Every structure is written in structure tokens, then in C-alpha cells.
Structure 1
Amino acid sequence: MDYSLDLKTLDLIKQQLIDLAFQVGPKIVLGLIIFFIGKYLIGMANKIMRRAFDRSEVDPSLATFLLSFSRVVLWVLLLISIATTMGVQMTSFIAILGAAGLAVGLALQGSLSNFAGGVLILLFKPFKVGDTVEAQGTTGEVESIDILYTKIKNFDNKLVTLPNGILANNLIVNYSQKSTRRVDMKVGIAYGTDIKKVRKIILGILAKDERIHHEPVAVVLFNNFGESSLDLIIRCWTDTANLWPVYWENMEAIKEALEKNQISIPFPQREVHHLYPEEKK
């Protein structure tokens, strides 16, 4: 059997290739033009957005996320435009994207929840890098806020990584957001002690500390009849950064002042009485 191609067949194939080139060629050229123009415009758009964020002093974490997200959206739109130019049916293309998105969404449910939580944290700013927060049983300084996770450094220098989805949907205590904090101290004195005298001594100590604010005024209040002591609560206000130094130093100063004035600071104790029948005495 002769498998050789005759000239007529070769001419037919050649003509079909030429026709195909005339049909597809312009679309390919147009697609390449759209690609390079779109790439240039995406770069320009990102530069404009970056400058706008710099002028408006947007949080760096939020700016980085928004730039990355907008770049992805613009590239998707560019690819859709190129596919449309090449003659791809949009209904089929959208169906493929939808199916792929559904599969990815089911596989990455936890990550998508963290992603959404990161967006909420960056937008509403319940805390920022450098703040001291308490969340999910962890207290420490926020070291970084990523789009999926937040890293908190404990006071003993352990790094805790928490998913943003959990943070965005649970209680967060921010100790740094307010410029002033109330210092609460508790002191127990022996029963029979003159409370007014003790109050005067303690307020005199607090008045010497320049870090303590005059408004609201510091107070010493009788709080409770304890098992072994009369319990007093001391409240004063200071700058957030001075909270713990004010607490530690004044607690020590109060102890020394009470001892100097011979005011007893009791410790828990219990009296035991033995009762015997009359014939066993």
C-alpha cells in the first residue's frame, strides 16, 4: 500500500494551516498585546495604591495585604480578558473557576477562616504590633500580625502562634490601648488596728510617688472582714507603662511603713480548742 502524500493532499494541508494561522494568529497577537499592556497597568495601579497608603499612613500589615489581594484580583481579571479574546466561552471558563473554587474552599476551610479573621483584625485593629494583650489563655506582646496567624511573645520569652480565625471570634483584652491604667493593691491588717491611721500612712506613701496621677485621686478602702485580717484595697492611677513598677515598689514601701509604725500584718492562723468530757480531765 502506498502511504506517500500526493501534491494535492499537501496543498490541502498547507491551505488548512494557513487558514488556521489567519484565524488564530490575530487572536494570539491580540492576547499578547493585552497581556503586556495589562501587566504594565497592574504595576502602575500597585504603585499608585502604595503611594496612597503611604500618604494616608495605613497600617503596614493592612497595606501589604491589600496590595497583594488587589494584585491577585487584577491578574485574574486580566486572564479572563485574554481568555475571552482567544475565543474561550465565558460560561465554561466561569464553570471551571467555580468548581475549582469550591474544591479549594472545602479543602482549606480552616485557612479561609483564618484569612477572614486576619482581614477583620487588620481592618478593625483590636490590637497592633507592640500591644500587650490577653487572648486564649495567653498574655504577652504582639510580635507580628500575618494574614493567617498572629504571633504573641510571652513575658518568659515563649512565642505563641494563634490562628486569626479564633482571635477574631473570641475575647481579646488589650492592656496597651489606653494610655492610663488603674493600679489595684491589697493589704491585710490585724483586727483592732485603726483603719484611719493606716489609710493616712498609705496615702502619704502614694503621694510621694510622682508617677501616680492626682486625678482620679488615690483611695484606700476597707474591703472585707477576712479570716485573719481586715482587708484593705488600694487604688490609684498611673501611665500604662508604669503600671507594674508602681505596683511592686509601692507594695514594698507600704510593708516597710506599716512595720515602722508597729502595725501588724497578720498571716492566716487558726485556733484549735480541745474539749474533753468531765471524767477525762
Structure 2
Amino acid sequence: MATMDEEQSQTVLESALEKIADFDLTALSGAEWQAVLYSYGLYYGMRIALVLIILFFAMTVAGWASAAVRSSLTRLKFDPTLTKFLAKLARWGILGLAALSCLSYFGVETTSFAAVIGAAGLAIGLAFQGTLSSFAAGAMLLIFRPFKVGDVVNIAGQLGKVDEVELFTTAIDTFDNRRIILPNSEVFGQVIENITFHPLRRIDVEVGAAYDADIDATRAALTSAAAAVEGTVTNPEPAIVLVGLGASSVDWSVRVWGPTGDYLAIKQELIRSVKMSLDAAGIGIPFPQMDVHFLTEGGEQKAA
């Protein structure tokens, strides 16, 4: 083969291609087989080598792009979960474009290939619509931030502290140390109560006073109880509210303000202070009572 000039090589190759077109492979001579293998081996070998170079270059660029996105968003103190997602998206986006370029270089119609990918994506989307819904909801939670890690929230009937917000799920820990995993589609589609969003929170204690207790004396005792609680703030001021006349007691609400993080401690101290202040003033806290009247055999009515 090395002694053949270019014209002879072309003649042998054309003869071999004609026999291949007629599916007469047994008629190919050794020189014809050599010409075919040399020609197409050189043709596709160069293209495969070029494709490998393109893929290597694309992987290098994808790694640089992913690292650049990650470092830039980390420097901006962006959300860690969304930072990882965008870094991976940049990497796989570049690799996908490189793969399509390689396919088109080999003569594959990328338009039809894109249509197949689109149809497959539609089928996958229908099959995983619940998962994709959670993914979209997770992205919305990371963008709009109705709560953050460490907040105490009430979501879908679950009360606890947010431990982690991921793209598909949100993890909260209850106050009795149970881990609750909620799909983000359920989280974003429900009413979200962020209990620790504001730095201050109002603490309420409901109490009933005896009907024979003086109204002004009761108010003074409850005002003294609210003022004795440590850790509260004076702006807004404490409030002693006469709620109503209950079945067995005159109902009051003692309301003070304090730091959100100290809510439970302040409420415990306020309950204790209210009880001690009413005891000191001689004001009773009645329990529910019921008067029962019944008829005797003689028709007389008696109370029990």
C-alpha cells in the first residue's frame, strides 16, 4: 500500500466501495480491504481524536465555571444550597453543549435529537411531577425566604425549629426532639407561621378572678405582677385587659412584651408572678362551678 500512488489508491478505494454497495464483501481483495480500513480509519480516527480534545477542553472549562460560580456566590454569602445547585447547573450545562457539538460533528441532526430529549423530558416531568413540584417550591423558598435555618415555625400543623432547607424537602426538629421531613410542595403551598421572625414577642397569661373581688384591686394586683417580671420591655408597655365575665370568674388577660428567645422563660415567670400577686391581695382564682337543682318526692326544689 505504501508503494501505491494517490491515483491508484483512489481507484482501489472506489472499486472497494462499489463492491460494498453491492453487498459483495467476499469479492474484496486484500488491497481493497486495506484501502477501506485506511481511508475510513483515518477519517473517523481524526474526528474521534478531535472529539476527545473537545470533551477534555469542555470538562476543564466546566470545572472552572463551576468553581467560579461557587466561589463568587460564597463570597457574596449566598445560600449554600442554592450555590451548590447553580454550580452544578453551570458544569452540566457546558458539558451538555459540548456533547451536542460533538454529535453534530459526526453528522447527527441535533434538532431531531433535541426533539427526542424534549419528549423524554416531558415524559419524565409527568412521571415526577410531585418531585418537580417540590423542587420548584424549594427554589421559591430559597428565593423569597419566608423562614431561615434556626427559626421556629408552624407549617402544615407541625411546630418546630427549622434545621435544614433543601431543594426538595425541609427538615424541622420538634421541641420533644423529633425530626420532621416535609416536602417543599407542602411547605410552600400552606400557611407558614414564622414564630421567631420578629425580635420581640407578646406573652399572654389568661387568669380568672372571683366575682366578689374588687375590679380596681384586681387590676392593681395584676399590674404589679406584670411589673415584677424580669426580662420584659417597657416599649410596648404591659397591658392588663378585662376580657369578659365568665361563667365562674371575671376573666383577665395579662400581656407583656419580651425578647422572642426568652418567651418560655418570661411566660413561666409571669404565671408565677400573677399567682403570687393575687394571693398577696387576697383575691381568689375560682374553679368552674355548677349549681344543680332537683325535685324531691314532695315536689320541693332543692339545690346541691
Equivalent residue for 1:71? 91
Rounded to whole Å, the distance in 1 between the matches of 2:168 and 2:277 is 52
The share of aligned pairs that are identical, in percent, is 35
102, 110, 120: which one aligns with 1:90: 110
Distance 1:196 1:61, change over 3 A: farther
Query: Shift in Å at residue 275 of structure 1?
Result: 4.2
Query: Shift in Å at residue 234 of structure 1?
Result: 1.6
Output one character per residue of 1:81-103: Cα deviation in whole Å (capped at 9) or x when no partner. Answer: 22222322112211221122122
Find the residue that maps to 2:203 and give its secondary structure. strand
Contact 1:31 1:86 in 2 (8 A): no
Query: Shift in Å at residue 106 of structure 1?
Result: 1.9
Equivalent residue for 2:14? none
Find the residue that maps to 1:274 and give its secondary structure. strand
Rounded to whole Å, the distance in 2 between the matches of 1:91 and 1:62 is 31
Find the residue that maps to 2:293 and give its secondary structure. coil
Are 1:180 and 2:200 an aligned pair? yes
Greater relative contact order (Cα 8 A, min sep 6): structure 1 or 2?
1
Query: Shift in Å at residue 105 of structure 1?
Result: 1.3
Rounded to whole Å, the distance in 2 between the matches of 1:209 and 1:81 is 72
Equivalent residue for 1:39? 59
Query: Shift in Å at residue 253 of structure 1?
Result: 1.6
* RMSD, matched Cα: 2.0
Amino acid at match of 2:151: D
Correspondence 1:190-209 to 2 at 5 A: 190-209=210-229
Are 1:138 and 2:158 an aligned pair? yes
Query: Shift in Å at residue 44 of structure 1?
Result: 0.9
Equivalent residue for 1:121? 141
**Which one is further off, 16-25 or 173-182?**
16-25
Contact 1:30 1:85 in 2 (8 A): no
Query: Shift in Å at residue 187 of structure 1?
Result: 0.8
Equivalent residue for 1:251? 271
- In structure 2, runs of 5+ residues without a counterpart are 1-24
Are 1:61 and 2:81 an aligned pair? yes
Equivalent residue for 2:41? 21
Contact 1:28 1:86 in 2 (8 A): no
Contact 1:153 1:160 in 2 (8 A): yes
Find the residue that maps to 1:177 and give its secondary structure. coil
- In structure 1, runs of 5+ residues without a counterpart are none
TM-score calculated relative to the size of structure 1:
0.92
Amino acid at match of 2:66: N
Rounded to whole Å, the distance in 2 between the matches of 1:70 and 1:181 is 43
TM-score calculated relative to the size of structure 2:
0.85
Are 1:223 and 2:243 an aligned pair? yes
Query: Shift in Å at residue 20 of structure 1?
Result: 1.5
Rounded to whole Å, the distance in 2 between the matches of 1:53 and 1:108 is 29
121, 133, 152: which one aligns with 1:101: 121
Rounded to whole Å, the distance in 2 between the matches of 1:176 and 1:85 is 58
Bigger Rg, which one: 2
Find the residue that maps to 2:294 and give its secondary structure. coil
Contact 2:209 2:284 in 1 (8 A): yes
